[in-house]
Amino acid sequence: MKIMVAVKRVVDYAVKIRIKPDKSGVETQNVNMSMNPFCEIALEEALKIKESGLAKEVVAVTMGPSNCVDTLRTGLAMGADRGIHVEAARDLVPLSVAKVLKKLVEVENPGLLILGKQAIDDDCNQTGQMIAALLGWPQGTFASKVVLDKEKQVATVDREVDGGLETLCLDLPAVITTDLRLNQPRYATLPNIMKAKSKPIKRYTPEELNVEIKSGLEVVQVTEPPKRKAGVILSSVDELIDKLKNEAHVI
Which residues form the interface with other proteins (CB under 8 A)?
12-16, 30, 32, 34-35, 37, 74, 77, 184, 187-191, 193-194
CA distance to 40, 59, 75, 153, 195, per residue, from 189 (Å): 15, 19, 12, 32, 10
Q: Do 129 and 139 touch, CB atoms closer than 8 A?
A: yes
CB of 190 to other proteins, least distance (A): 4
> Closer to other proteins at the Cβ: 13 or 245?
13
CA-closest candidate to residue 115, choices 142, 88, 149: 142
> Closer to other proteins at the Cβ: 5 or 148?
5
CB of 185 to other proteins, least distance (A): 9
Q: Which residues pair with 159 in a beta bridge?
A: 143, 166
CB of 47 to other proteins, least distance (A): 14
CB of 81 to other proteins, least distance (A): 18
> Closer to other proteins at the Cβ: 194 or 240?
194
> Closer to other proteins at the Cβ: 29 or 221?
29
CA–CA distance, 228 with 79 (Å, rounded to integer): 44
For 245, counting Cβ atoms within 10 Å of its Cβ (0-12 exposed, 13-18 middle, 19+ buried), the class is: exposed
